Amino acid sequence: MTRPSGRAADQLRAVSLETGFAKYAEGSCLVRFGDTHVLCTASVEEKVPPFLRGQGLGWVTAEYGMLPRATHSRTDREAAKGKQSGRTQEIQRLIGRALRAVTDRKAMGEIQVKIDCDVLQADGGTRTAAITGSYVALHQAFTHLMRIGVLKQIPLIDSVAAISCGIYNGQAVLDLDYAEDSNAQADANFVLTGAGGIVEIQGTAEERPFDEAQFNELLRLARHGIGQLTALQKTALGL
Amino acid sequence: MTRPSGRAADQLRAVSLETGFAKYAEGSCLVRFGDTHVLCTASVEEKVPPFLRGQGLGWVTAEYGMLPRATHSRTDREAAKGKQSGRTQEIQRLIGRALRAVTDRKAMGEIQVKIDCDVLQADGGTRTAAITGSYVALHQAFTHLMRIGVLKQIPLIDSVAAISCGIYNGQAVLDLDYAEDSNAQADANFVLTGAGGIVEIQGTAEERPFDEAQFNELLRLARHGIGQLTALQKTALGL
Amino acid sequence: MTRPSGRAADQLRAVSLETGFAKYAEGSCLVRFGDTHVLCTASVEEKVPPFLRGQGLGWVTAEYGMLPRATHSRTDREAAKGKQSGRTQEIQRLIGRALRAVTDRKAMGEIQVKIDCDVLQADGGTRTAAITGSYVALHQAFTHLMRIGVLKQIPLIDSVAAISCGIYNGQAVLDLDYAEDSNAQADANFVLTGAGGIVEIQGTAEERPFDEAQFNELLRLARHGIGQLTALQKTALGL
Amino acid sequence: MTRPSGRAADQLRAVSLETGFAKYAEGSCLVRFGDTHVLCTASVEEKVPPFLRGQGLGWVTAEYGMLPRATHSRTDREAAKGKQSGRTQEIQRLIGRALRAVTDRKAMGEIQVKIDCDVLQADGGTRTAAITGSYVALHQAFTHLMRIGVLKQIPLIDSVAAISCGIYNGQAVLDLDYAEDSNAQADANFVLTGAGGIVEIQGTAEERPFDEAQFNELLRLARHGIGQLTALQKTALGL
Amino acid sequence: MTRPSGRAADQLRAVSLETGFAKYAEGSCLVRFGDTHVLCTASVEEKVPPFLRGQGLGWVTAEYGMLPRATHSRTDREAAKGKQSGRTQEIQRLIGRALRAVTDRKAMGEIQVKIDCDVLQADGGTRTAAITGSYVALHQAFTHLMRIGVLKQIPLIDSVAAISCGIYNGQAVLDLDYAEDSNAQADANFVLTGAGGIVEIQGTAEERPFDEAQFNELLRLARHGIGQLTALQKTALGL
Amino acid sequence: MTRPSGRAADQLRAVSLETGFAKYAEGSCLVRFGDTHVLCTASVEEKVPPFLRGQGLGWVTAEYGMLPRATHSRTDREAAKGKQSGRTQEIQRLIGRALRAVTDRKAMGEIQVKIDCDVLQADGGTRTAAITGSYVALHQAFTHLMRIGVLKQIPLIDSVAAISCGIYNGQAVLDLDYAEDSNAQADANFVLTGAGGIVEIQGTAEERPFDEAQFNELLRLARHGIGQLTALQKTALGL
């Protein structure tokens, strides 16, 4: 079997995490997984949503969008249609949960960080790239809050990154691109912490149900890829 | 450890699948997982959505809703607010995918079945109850189409059911009710076929990341519960 | 002339008022007028809408919805379409007015009761069934507020119920079902109190104008039917 | 008792029906009931709505709106809020039904007339003024279609007009203005044909239920008023 | 060259400014530029929008609408479509800016005036008629506030009016009507003060770019027309 | 006087036009006017909007958006709010008009090009940067259509670019950045062709009306700047 890109089964696409792309945001990271490019920004707000006020807890939330021509053929603009698709809502809820799972919301205090993930170019795996880059932007925003004296320490208990795996032509492969994603027999997104803890698993059989052995193989690949992403996150943050 | 309901760790709530609740639908099932009650109906339409026309394939899709006072305190009506929440959209997409995974869309021909899952009462696990009941309603609708001569056989390649599991008070337990769900350390929904194939896995760490051993224990419990649900589905369908 | 159901001209369908259907609501009634089934719940809220604050008056309001497959063929879900139809809004405004007409809003104090009427199955007359069942749910909610010491007496000055009448095949008949409703020459909904007072009359000529004698005959039938509904309400409430 | 306006109990406000106010419409009438001014236009379209195509039947429908400062204090613009209120929808459905009740839709053929009723100034009774003026605009549009040879005769089987009556200070009065309307014990709108047939009755108890004798007195007043409106319609149309 | 209306190149249509058309508004003016008729009302509100509170500054804002049959063929009602068009929003923003440019918002204090411009009939130039009439309505509202002692002087530093000019059949003409507007090579709207200051210029090439000499000719015509409109405004206000 | 950026009154910010930024689009240009960065893409569609079908004419239209954290403080996402602001609609209509003014829609045939302008970073002048970059993207898309044989020549009759000018601290300056824009006495956007024709002029007095001499000085500056932008467009397109 050959992957369309010629990659080995356990090989990530070329990944880069470019910080500082957005001049005004408290944190920002342009993450590239091959031809998938997502701009992640972190914006600090001094107040938490109404349902949290007065509880001494912070909040991290995310929004996700895609430029109309990020895709091979043009997609209608959600702002023009007047609503976000179910897919968009699923993804932005996932990103928010992933980041909150590694945030110490008590140490954070009543501050909110809003993450915006905007896909500039899409070639599969936008949600996993978005989580991986958002962690970098969030870390930067917390660092900024330390620098200006609002926080005493970074309220993160671990790092978090995400990768997709799938069964393509009967074989488990890491980091699906669009050509693979649209023909995979199964597709799973894994969100893991730097220490190896599982934050979220979403596995879906695309055509036929899969079995436990296949699932375990996907998880093994994901651990392999996320180890590399975690290292790249550290480098990007200068840690 | 004791569960709030006094159930054993691997014990389902009282489950019932009552067919024929909706007089006019081609298939219907009122599914009860304890105090969670969901009315599932299947409506046959003679045409498929535009993106499928002329391909000889059928379509199964689902919508999900909750009566405003299904819940402990009243929830705003989505029709009055003018949009469906992200949670609603996630759930209805999940139900549709689960049912399509066991449907032979080619054998079905250019027919559409719309599943409506309306939660009359909610005590946790509404999406897993909805999938379990929807399969029964879908099977009935296909049986109806055989009876009137539109189909020659039931275009289902397997049965499908779903159950939630979670880590509650540090222990893996089956079929979370609301009291458990709102305090679980981790929560996973499993959609499995009658033959044991995995259709969908959605695992989420609520507070702290979980590990692989815990995840495997959840999957083991799910297999146990889904075995029982599959038997109840057969009985409800008179198979 | 024979009615499609074989009923006499002044005969109601089989009516039942089942209380306690919704476990969590402060009041609830599943009302059945033959094959028309409406679940009515009453939810107590501790604050009134902004336009009433500080006036010492309570508020009773209603929302109405229909499950997509309550009807003979499936109706689109209003939450999915993103708005409530004009028909839905007319009906929910009518239900609210009818209940407020028998409520002593001063004795009620600054409390709000929200009534939700959700049609589980529709065979004509859903709005009249909804009003009849909502009165029961509202009474239960007030009884609950007495029991917990918030109210000293039930702030209701009379009971209220509703029924439709129409001219079918040239004859005045009571409690139209769907088969009659869709072929009636005229159609009128009457909302009357237990003491016989008129709360609301809505009469509509469907094909040709009707005359005063016909209208008076419809009102006479309505009085007859509402007498029976009032007795059933008392029984359901154990009065 | 004295009415705020000094009118006798059975006295209409000064009524005028000014045709030709809108230069471009196929029919138009600026109707004034005292300080209530409604511009009614009739627009002919060559095709009927999709649900009627191919049946050889015409359609008459209506839309209703109010200028923001038609009222004593400014009302928010519905176009800016992004939706029509329940009240607006109720009224425009009523106007449409009233006009269709006197239209011979078979004789009309597959043509649609859209009536727009826009309230320039509101002092109570806007819906009854709108129906009364719309009939004039509709008649003009049909006359125009005869003149250009599309129709051979006016497809109207009778005229239609509407008036409100109510119980004010315990007495039945005709044609409520705003001062009366906002303090009436009961309020009823009557839509009658020129020949005296009943098209629509909507009676509502505002504070306390009313009785049958009161209702009959309101109907008597309505007949009196509508007799006068019918004569004014004939004059306006030059019949 | 002849203009469709037979007017001279520098000739306005018949202009009238009728005050007091709307009985309840604090200021109102029915402005007519030939067959273009716009009702402008000014409504005073005692509070400014949230973004201005506590700054001691007033606010003037505008909304614009068009009756569905103001136009030669019927236009869909924006309230029914559920949103205002881009054109509507452009125009109402322009009217608001124009009026604020001559208002002394400090002298006004924390009061808001909402201008509503509703087009009763449209034959080109609705936005310029709306600005010209709105100034009159605004002046009246301020006069009313002086009369009741809320203001000590009229907080207007100049008057403001607007007119369109365009290149039609190769020649610069003043005050385009619909027949000219829809065939113009270029179209420009000028908003000028009574003292000759420029408040807003919007020039658009419809088919081919235009040159500076042409533009200057359009401005010269505009000055000519606005001189006349300013005089008419004074007369209408009795100044 | 010194400008905040230290630029001379007639000095543009550093401008760059980077083509090929978006891999999948038929044309794309990342335009930078200093810290204002706008990604412009051109997407070819084989059919024109319904109102143009069968006329043999092409169509060019534009949509505009801004990433939430393009700005100094975060702006709410329009897709999440469910509608585009009036400002967004004004800008996208302006971009579309500007491009159509230099397009030979007859030579283009029944093809549509959709331009998307997404602001990645905003420091004033986003609409003028968007027009300048969109022309480049549009030219590329037409070149692509020539290359694949759909067009025989580029259907552009001239180039088009845009720049803002304003009165800042009493002096006319070219290409306002955000610091200037938010404190300008007047602000004008000029859209000119490469040959010097005027396509669109939008001048607005921000605080006090301005005079004709000032306006002419702004136009002179604009001509100067657009000369430079035109040269940069040629270079970017390799002409």
CA separation for the pair F138, F146 (Å, rounded):
13
Degrees (nearest 5) of the Cα angle D28, E67, E237?
100
Interface test with D, best of C212, C215, C226 (most D CBs within 10 A): C212
- The 3-state secondary structure of F73-89, one letter per residue: CCCCCHHHHCCCCHHHH
Give the tens place of pLDDT for each residue, B43-54.
999 999 999 999
Give the tens place of pLDDT for each residue, C163-221.
999 999 999 999 999 999 999 999 999 999 999 999 999 999 987 899 999 999 999 99
Question: Residue ranges of the alpha helices (H) in A82-211?
Answer: 86-100, 105-108, 126-147, 178-181
Is B13 flagged in the annotation as binding? no
CA separation for the pair C32, B103 (Å, rounded):
36
The total domain count for chain E is 1
The residue written with tokens 């069942």 in the block is C133
Q: With an 8 Å Cβ cutoff, are A195 and B215 in contact?
A: no
Q: Which residues of chain A have pLDDT under 50?
A: none
3-state secondary structure of D26: coil
Which pLDDT belongs to residue C1? 64
Interface test with B, best of A61, A89, A192, A206 (most B CBs within 10 A): A89
Q: Examine residue E185 and state whether it is found in any structural domain, yes or no.
A: yes
| Chain D residues with CB within 8 Å of chain E CB | 22-25, 28, 35, 39, 41, 43, 45, 63, 65, 67-74, 77-80, 82-84, 88, 114, 116, 118, 120-121
Of residues F92, F195, F200, nearest to E205 (C-beta): F200
Strand partners, D36: D33
Query: Of C21, C84, C92, C19, whose CA–CA distance to C60 is shortest?
Result: C92
Of residues F22, F65, F121, nearest to A23 (C-beta): F121
Q: Examine residue E5 and state whether it is found in any structural domain, yes or no.
A: no
Give the tens place of pLDDT for each residue, A17-48.
999 999 999 999 999 999 999 999 999 999 99
Give the tens place of pLDDT for each residue, B100-154.
999 999 999 999 999 999 999 999 999 999 999 999 999 999 999 999 999 999 9
Q: Examine residue C10 and state whether it is found in any structural domain, yes or no.
A: no
Give the tens place of pLDDT for each residue, B163-199.
999 999 999 999 999 999 999 999 999 999 999 999 9
CA separation for the pair A78, A65 (Å, rounded):
8
Of residues F202, F209, F219, nearest to E101 (C-beta): F209
Give the tens place of pLDDT for each residue, E148-206.
999 999 999 999 999 999 999 999 999 999 999 999 999 999 999 999 999 999 999 98
Phi/psi of residue A199, each to 5°?
Answer: -100, -40
Which pLDDT belongs to residue F207? 76
Which pLDDT belongs to residue B1? 65
Q: Tally Cβ neighbours within 10 Å of residue B112.
A: 17
Interface predicted TM-score (ipTM): 0.95
Give the tens place of pLDDT for each residue, C98-135.
999 999 999 999 999 999 999 999 999 999 999 999 99
CA separation for the pair E181, E71 (Å, rounded):
14
Q: Which residue of A has its CA nearest to F75?
A: A43
Residues D9/D172, Cβ–Cβ less than 8 Å: yes
Residues D12/D174, Cβ–Cβ less than 8 Å: yes
CA separation for the pair B196, B194 (Å, rounded):
5
Q: Examine residue F180 and state whether it is found in any structural domain, yes or no.
A: yes
Residues A163/A229, Cβ–Cβ less than 8 Å: yes
Q: Which residues of chain F have pLDDT under 70?
A: 1
User: Which tokens hold the place of C68?
Assistant: 């997509």
Give the tens place of pLDDT for each residue, D159-193.
999 999 999 999 999 999 999 999 999 999 999 99
Phi/psi of residue E36, each to 5°?
Answer: -90, 120
Q: With an 8 Å Cβ cutoff, are E200 and F204 in contact?
A: yes
Q: Which residues of C are annotated as a binding site?
A: 87, 125-127
Q: Examine residue E95 and state whether it is found in any structural domain, yes or no.
A: yes
Q: Examine residue E150 and state whether it is found in any structural domain, yes or no.
A: yes
Residues B196/B219, Cβ–Cβ less than 8 Å: no
Whole-number Cα distances in Å, D39 to D25, D132, D182: 11, 11, 23
Instruction: Give the H or E element holding residue F180.
Output: helix F178-181
Q: Which residue of B has its CA nearest to C34?
A: B23
Name subunits touching C (3+ CB pairs < 8 A): B, D
Whole-number Cα distances in Å, A160 to A193, A231, B10, B62, B106: 4, 11, 32, 33, 41
Q: Chain C: nearest CA to B144, how far in angstroms?
A: 15
β-pairing verdict for B112-121 and B59-66:
parallel
CA separation for the pair A170, F53 (Å, rounded):
47
- C-alpha A109: how far from its chain's center? 24
DSSP D156: B
Which pLDDT belongs to residue E206? 83
CA separation for the pair F31, E14 (Å, rounded):
48
Query: Of A131, A111, A110, whose CA–CA distance to A119 is shortest?
Result: A131
Give the tens place of pLDDT for each residue, D12-26.
999 999 999 999 999
Q: With an 8 Å Cβ cutoff, are E84 and D79 in contact?
A: yes
CA separation for the pair F169, F186 (Å, rounded):
10
CA separation for the pair A120, F70 (Å, rounded):
14
Q: With an 8 Å Cβ cutoff, are B92 and A101 in contact?
A: no
Q: With an 8 Å Cβ cutoff, are F77 and A77 in contact?
A: no
Which pLDDT belongs to residue F2? 87
Q: Chain A: nearest CA to F212, how far in angstroms?
A: 38
The alpha carbon dihedral of E3, E8, E9, E13 has a sign of: negative
b/e for B126-162, b at 16 or more Cβ within 10 A?
A: bbbbbbbbbbbbbbbbbebbeeeeebeebbbbbbbbb
CA separation for the pair D224, D228 (Å, rounded):
7
Q: Which residue of D has its CA nearest to C195?
A: D209
E55 pLDDT above the threshold of 70: yes
Q: Which residue of D has its CA nearest to E74?
A: D43
CA separation for the pair A182, A166 (Å, rounded):
11
Query: Of A194, A198, A195, A204, whose CA–CA distance to A219 is shortest?
Result: A198
E119 pLDDT above the threshold of 80: yes
Q: Examine residue F2 and state whether it is found in any structural domain, yes or no.
A: no
Q: With an 8 Å Cβ cutoff, are D101 and C202 in contact?
A: no
Contacts of F202 (CB under 8 A, 6+ apart): E201, E202, E203, F94, F188, F189
Q: Examine residue D206 and state whether it is found in any structural domain, yes or no.
A: yes
Interface test with E, best of F192, F208, F221 (most E CBs within 10 A): F208
Instruction: Give the H or E element holding residue B203.
Output: strand B198-205
Tell me which residue range forms the domain holding C181. Answer: 15-237
Residues E10/E121, Cβ–Cβ less than 8 Å: no
User: Which tokens hold the place of D209?
Assistant: 């239920």
CATH number at A93 reads 3.30.230.70
**CA Rg, chain F, in Å?**
18
Query: Of D163, D185, D166, whose CA–CA distance to D233 is shortest?
Result: D163
CA separation for the pair B45, B52 (Å, rounded):
14
Is A109 flagged in the annotation as binding? no
